[in-house]
Amino acid sequence: MLAIAGTAAPSMADVWQYRENAESSFHRSLDHLQRQRLSEHWRPPSAAELIARRVKFDPMIRALARRHGLDPDLVHAIVLVESAYDPIAVSKAGAIGLMQLMPATAERFGVIDATDPEQNIEAGVRYLKTLAVQFDRLELVLAAYNAGEDAVERFGRTVPPYPETQAYVDRLLTLLDRRDGLFD
């Protein structure tokens, strides 16, 4: 490696940074967020924090849901369950942001930065709309959002027998049935 006079040779950190900069911004932000999450002492938000987050994102959620013909309460319920309104939330599976978009879904809907609330919600709402057109019942839309549309199709257009997906669908249907209790 050639060093320029007066400067030190690049360290491994410099090489890593160069490699990181050469990757797509989407994967770079995912890697960064996963490292950040691992290094933080994460705790669930308090009820007051949830309410403040909901208020912050409410105008955006309402506008994007209405633009795509969806119930804003449905989007709010999904954001609550998926990320607790945390725009930089990253799941163990690699889902990112408010609506917990998987990298392939984010790419499918043209997301550049999955932690950007507007891009994330826009893509999540568009994906929900796609699922609503494909499936005729809300529980199937929710199951497909959680487990993927292929899983719903594979199990004969029913909620897949995955405990996580069944609990997810039940939780969301309960929240939507009790629209005044989204923070219980």
Domain at 100, CATH number: 1.10.530.10
| CA 172 vs CA 4, 28, 73, 125: distances in Å | 59, 31, 10, 16
82 is known as an active-site residue: yes
* pLDDT value at residue 16: 32
Flag whether 153 is in a domain.
no
* pLDDT value at residue 89: 94
Catalytic residue among 82, 122, 149, 153: 82
Mean pLDDT per segment of 10 residues, for the chain of length 184 residues? 34 33 40 48 84 97 97 97 96 95 97 98 98 95 97 98 97 83 38
> What DSSP state is assigned to residue 14?
H
Going 65 to 142 to 51 to 119, the CA torsion angle's sign is negative
* pLDDT value at residue 25: 38
Write down the number of H helices and E strands in the chain.
9, 0
Flag whether 59 is in a domain.
yes
* pLDDT value at residue 41: 57
- The domain tally of the chain equals 1
Domain that holds residue 130: 45-134
CA atoms within 13 A of residue 164's CA, in its CB half-sphere:
8
Element (H, E) at 93: none
Rounded CA separation 103/121 (Å): 14
Flag whether 160 is in a domain.
no
* pLDDT value at residue 35: 47
Rounded CA separation 105/150 (Å): 13
